[in-house]
Amino acid sequence: MKSFFNFLLAVPAVLAAPQINRRQDENTVPGKWIAQINEDSPLASALSTIQTLAGIEAKHQYEIGSFKGFSFDGDDGVLDILETIGAIKSVEPDRKVYASAPVPAAEIDARALVQQSPTTWGLARISHRARGANNYIYDNTAGAGSYIYVVDTGVYTGHQDFGGRASAGANFVEGESATDGNGHGTHCAGTTGSTTYGVAKRANIIGVKVLGSDGSGYNSDVIAGINWAVSNAQQNNRISRSVISMSLGGAYDPQSNNAVAQATAAGMFVAVAAGNDGKDASNYSPASERSACTVGATDINDNRASFSNFGSIVDIFAPGVNIQSTWIGSSTATNTISGTSMATPHIAGLAAYLLALEGTRSPAALCSRIQSLSTKNTIVNPGSGSPNYLAYNGNGA
């Protein structure tokens, strides 16, 4: 151990000093940090020595492809010590992250407030070139054999519309059970693959809880959820048939973007919400991660939703206003809500649908396939820099 201790102290002479970002703002969490380890440093041995030198304990450990790191609690004195350790690549403050919260009806333009028909309009829209249809047309493969990891507030797996295909995978929220106490995750899961409201009606759904019952959480927990999802898919030899759905976000954060980038590099498609502030999505994470498939929202009249973020980082638009799906409270509960959170699972479900229908392909190729299938130039005011691409499942209707 002594030789490794000396190695760590000697490394700064040949490597760039760790990049320690001490800046705090309204989105950072005082005293909570996320550290990234150099790619060529073995995580376990480096972490053991770092914890000894700095007197800290890792809350989460991350190893997603070349992204290695850990989260911890500490003060400026701890950061001073970490700044001298060559195995550390960077340290960022932990940041708050939120479910891309349902948008209150009062905040949606009047043109978006269209009464929902008995059939989910979102499913009808992505299966027809022209709007106004009331049926969902899809191939009967329906995502069979694919896996959708819903990284969110958890999933109420007892809802009958999941038909036994939903399971609780992991929980990273302290003090809460793995079940969904908010409803957001269950709603998103339902849009990805429930029997009545889902795009990929035969896909397997796995809940990864990273946000609490109030719909908020920390980037450190989100990264832990991504880490778990990738590891679980790899261990079960299904990463090429798996997708991640992330209807959450916050201020720009390089660590969470890096985690998503490593998930896609490992072969896992990741759909992320563009955000609900009506601004350029490049200022948000994980929406700004280029390897993810970033999703904006439209309404029943093919307008970009008034709340939807936009810009060149957006890859695709999907229905996101007045979307009905599964909910918590009973095994038959539903709710109708709006947000880019509701658009994102349409794309995660479509990705799973295409994996089952057309075979496996890389995350980048799959996002490109979704773009190539899309209905072009039908969205009213997609926003500056945004592609005018509305999701379509390619069935020919």
* pLDDT per residue as tens digits for the range 330-357: 999 999 999 999 999 999 999 999 999 9
Residue 11 has pLDDT above 70, yes or no: no
Per-residue pLDDT at 372 exceeds 80: yes
Assign domain 2-94 one CATH number from 3.40.47.10, 3.40.1030.10, 3.30.70.260, 3.30.70.80: 3.30.70.80
| Average pLDDT value over all residues in the chain | 89
Listed residue (271, 284, 279) closest to 386, CA to CA: 279
Query: How does residue 3 score in pLDDT terms, banded at 50, 70 and 90?
Result: very low
CA 109/CA 112 separation, integer angstroms: 5
Lowest average pLDDT, out of 40-44, 150-154, 265-269, 336-340, goes to: 40-44
How much is the pLDDT for 228?
Answer: 98
Read off the tokens for 313: 């980082």
Lowest mean pLDDT segment, chosen from 131-135, 256-260, 280-284, 335-339: 131-135
Which amino acid is residue 65, in one-letter code?
G
Name the catalytic one among 184, 194, 221, 245: 184
286-301: average pLDDT? 98
Q: Per the residue annotation, which of 152, 161, 221, 315 is the catalytic one? A: 152
Residues 277-309 as b or e (16 or more Cβ within 10 Å = b): eebbbbebbbbbbebbbbbbbbbbebbbbbbbb
Q: Using pLDDT thresholds of 50, 70 and 90, give the confidence band for residue 10.
A: very low
Given this model, what pLDDT does residue 82 score? 86
Decide if pLDDT at 193 tops 60.
yes
What secondary structure does DSSP assign to 321-363, as a single string? SSEEEE-SSSTT-EEEE-SHHHHHHHHHHHHHHHHHHH----H
Residues 6+ apart with CB under 8 A from 92: 21, 33, 34, 36, 253, 254, 255
Q: What is the mean pLDDT of residues 35-63?
A: 87
Question: pLDDT band at residue 114, thresholds of 50, 70 and 90?
Answer: very low
Q: What CATH topology corresponds to 100-390?
A: Rossmann fold (3.40.50)
Give 27's pLDDT tier (boundaries 50, 70, 90): confident
Single out the catalytic residue among 41, 90, 341, 386. Answer: 341
Question: What pLDDT score does 84 carry?
Answer: 85
> Residue 8: pLDDT band by 50, 70, 90 thresholds?
very low
Contacting residues for 269 by C-beta, under 8 A, at least 6 apart: 242, 243, 244, 293, 348, 351, 355, 363, 366, 367
**Closest to 161 in 3D by CA, of 352, 326, 347, 336:** 326
Locus of tokens 């905040």 = 107
Question: Is it the case that residue 1 has pLDDT exceeding 90?
Answer: no
Q: In terms of pLDDT, which residue wins out, 370 or 3?
A: 370
**pLDDT of 23 strictly over 60:** yes
253-261 mean pLDDT: 96
Structure tokens at 101: 């919260």
pLDDT reading at 117 higher than 70: no
Identify the CA nearest to 149 among candidates 197, 188, 120, 100.
188
DSSP string for residues in 42-109: -HHHHHHHHHHHHT---SEEEEETTEEEEEEE--HHHHHHHTT-TTEEEEEEEEEEEE-PPPPGGGS-
CB atoms within 10 A of CB 102: 19
341 is catalytic: yes
Span 124-132, mean pLDDT?
Answer: 95
Is the per-residue pLDDT at 288 higher than 70? yes
Q: What pTM was computed for the model?
A: 0.86
Assign 223 to helix, strand or coil.
helix
List pLDDT tens digits, range 56-84. Answer: 888 999 998 889 999 999 888 888 888 88
Which tokens go with 272? 């992320």
2-94 and 100-390 share one fold: no
51 pLDDT higher than 70: yes
pLDDT above 90 (res 2)? no
Number of Cβ within 10 Å of residue 229's Cβ equals 28
Q: Is the pLDDT of residue 185 over 90?
A: yes
Task: Please report, for the chain, the start and end positions of each structural domain, with discontinuous segments joined by +.
Answer: 2-94, 100-390
128 is catalytic: no
Q: Is the pLDDT of residue 365 over 90?
A: yes
| Residue 152 confidence (pLDDT) above 90 | yes
The yes-or-no answer on residue 184 being catalytic is yes
Other beta carbons less than 10 A from residue 70's beta carbon: 25
Lowest pLDDT segment from 103-107, 144-148, 170-174: 103-107
